Structure 1
Amino acid sequence: MSSSSHPNIILTSSPDGPITAFDATAGVALCHFSGSRSPCHGLALVGNSFIAASHISPETPSSGSIHLYNWWSSTALHNFLVPEPVAPLEASPDGLYIFAGGVSGCVYTLSVPSGDIIRSYSAHNKPVSCLKISEDGSLLISGSDDGTIAFVPIFQIVENSSSLMLQSFVAHGGTVTAIEQYDSTIISCSMDSTVKFWGMFEGTKLRQVTLFPCAVMGVALDQMKTEFFAAGSDGFIYNGSSLNVGTKKHSNRGGECIRWPQKHEGGIVSLIIMSGGKNLVSASEDGKVFIWEIETGKIIMAFGTDMGCISDMVVANGIGQGLRLGKRDIDSWDGYGGFYKEELSRTLKETLDLEEVLKVAAKDRTRAIDMLESAISMYERLLELILKEAMKLGLGSSKK
Structure 2
Amino acid sequence: MSPFPSSFDEFILTSSPDGPIVAYEASTGATYTRFSDSRSPRRGLTMVNQGLIAVSHVFSETGAGSVQIYNWHISNVFNNFPLPEPVAPLVATSDGAFLFVGGLSGTIHSLSIPSGNLINSLSLHSKPISTLHLNDDGSLVISGSNDGVIVMIPSFKLVEEGSYSLAEDDSRDFILHQWKAHSDSITALKSGVGVCRSTLISCSLDCTCKIWDMSNGVLIQTVAFPYAIFGVAVDSRESRFYAAGEDGLVYMGSMNRKMIDKGYELFTSSKCHNGSIVSLVLVNEGKDLVSASEDGSVWKWDVMNGEVTMVLGNNNDKRSMISDMIVAKRDRNYGVIMENDVVGGSEINGFNSSYSSCFSSSRLYDEKVVTNLMQITDFGQVLDVIVEDKKKAINMLESAIEMYERLLKLILKEAMRGIGGSNDDEDAEKQGDKEQEEEEKENDK
Place the TM-score, normalised by the shorter chain, in its bin.
0.7 to 0.9
Which of the two has greater helix per residue? 2
- The secondary structure found in structure 1 opposite 2:143 is strand
Separation in 2, partners of 1:315, 1:256: 25
Alpha-carbon distance, 1:347 to partner: 4.9
- The secondary structure found in structure 1 opposite 2:330 is coil
- Whether the 8 Å contact between 2:301 and 2:309 is mirrored in structure 1 is yes
Name the aligned partner's letter for residue 92 of structure 2: A
1:122 equivalent in alignment to 2:120: no
1:316 aligns with one of 303, 325, 328: 328
Partner of residue 110, structure 2: 109
1:208 aligns with one of 212, 222, 229: 222
Partner of residue 11, structure 2: 9
Deviations 1:191-210, CA, capped at 9 Å, x for gaps: 00001011223221111001
Partner of residue 247, structure 2: 234
Partner of residue 24, structure 2: 22
Q: Is the deviation greater in 157-166 or in 188-197?
A: 157-166
Deviations 1:155-209, CA, capped at 9 Å, x for gaps: 1211236465213110000000000001422110100000101122322111100
Partner of residue 171, structure 1: 181
Gapped runs of 5+ residues in structure 2? 164-170, 339-445
- The secondary structure found in structure 1 opposite 2:50 is coil
- The secondary structure found in structure 2 opposite 1:26 is coil
Alpha-carbon distance, 1:120 to partner: 0.7
Alpha-carbon distance, 1:35 to partner: 3.6
Deviations 1:230-263, CA, capped at 9 Å, x for gaps: 000000000110122228xx97xxx643342122
- What are the within-5 Å matches in structure 2 for residues 280-291 of structure 1? 280-291=289-300
TM-score normalised to structure 2 length: 0.68
Separation in 2, partners of 1:347, 1:272: 22
Alpha-carbon distance, 1:275 to partner: 1.2
- Whether the 8 Å contact between 1:241 and 1:257 is mirrored in structure 2 is no
- The secondary structure found in structure 2 opposite 1:8 is strand
Separation in 1, partners of 2:29, 2:267: 25
**Against the structure 1 CA distance between its residues 314 and 256, is the aligned structure 2 distance closer, same or farther, given a 3 Å change threshold?**
closer
1:190 aligns with one of 204, 210, 215: 204
Separation in 1, partners of 2:7, 2:187: 34
- The secondary structure found in structure 2 opposite 1:156 is helix
Separation in 1, partners of 2:276, 2:42: 12
Partner of residue 57, structure 2: 55
- Whether the 8 Å contact between 2:55 and 2:68 is mirrored in structure 1 is yes
Alpha-carbon distance, 1:6 to partner: 3.0
**Against the structure 1 CA distance between its residues 27 and 259, is the aligned structure 2 distance closer, same or farther, given a 3 Å change threshold?**
closer
Separation in 2, partners of 1:271, 1:45: 16
1:257 aligns with one of 254, 265, 284: 265
Partner of residue 224, structure 1: 237
Q: Is the deviation greater in 198-207 or in 75-84?
A: 198-207
Deviations 1:315-340, CA, capped at 9 Å, x for gaps: 11235x3xxxxxxxxxxxxxxxxxxx
> Which structure exhibits the higher relative contact order, with contacts defined as CA atoms closer than 8 Å and separated by 6 or more residues?
1
Separation in 2, partners of 1:39, 1:218: 14
- Whether the 8 Å contact between 2:18 and 2:37 is mirrored in structure 1 is no
Separation in 2, partners of 1:140, 1:279: 28
Name the aligned partner's letter for residue 10 of structure 1: I
Alpha-carbon distance, 1:307 to partner: 4.0
Alpha-carbon distance, 1:112 to partner: 0.5
- Whether the 8 Å contact between 1:176 and 1:191 is mirrored in structure 2 is yes
1:270 equivalent in alignment to 2:279: yes
Separation in 1, partners of 2:309, 2:319: 23
Partner of residue 135, structure 2: 134
Alpha-carbon distance, 1:48 to partner: 3.3
- The secondary structure found in structure 2 opposite 1:77 is strand
1:95 equivalent in alignment to 2:104: no
Name the aligned partner's letter for residue 275 of structure 1: N
Partner of residue 70, structure 1: 71
- Whether the 8 Å contact between 1:15 and 1:37 is mirrored in structure 2 is yes
**Against the structure 1 CA distance between its residues 346 and 223, is the aligned structure 2 distance closer, same or farther, given a 3 Å change threshold?**
closer
Name the aligned partner's letter for residue 204 of structure 1: V
Identity of aligned residues (%): 46
- Whether the 8 Å contact between 1:35 and 1:76 is mirrored in structure 2 is no
1:199 aligns with one of 213, 226, 229: 213
Alpha-carbon distance, 1:4 to partner: 5.9
Gapped runs of 5+ residues in structure 1? 322-344, 352-400
Separation in 1, partners of 2:336, 2:150: 36
**Against the structure 1 CA distance between its residues 93 and 220, is the aligned structure 2 distance closer, same or farther, given a 3 Å change threshold?**
same
Separation in 2, partners of 1:272, 1:227: 13
Deviations 1:269-310, CA, capped at 9 Å, x for gaps: 011112111111111101011111111111111124524111
- Whether the 8 Å contact between 2:26 and 2:283 is mirrored in structure 1 is no
TM-score normalised to structure 1 length: 0.76
Partner of residue 373, structure 1: none
Separation in 1, partners of 2:301, 2:107: 36
Separation in 1, partners of 2:97, 2:156: 12
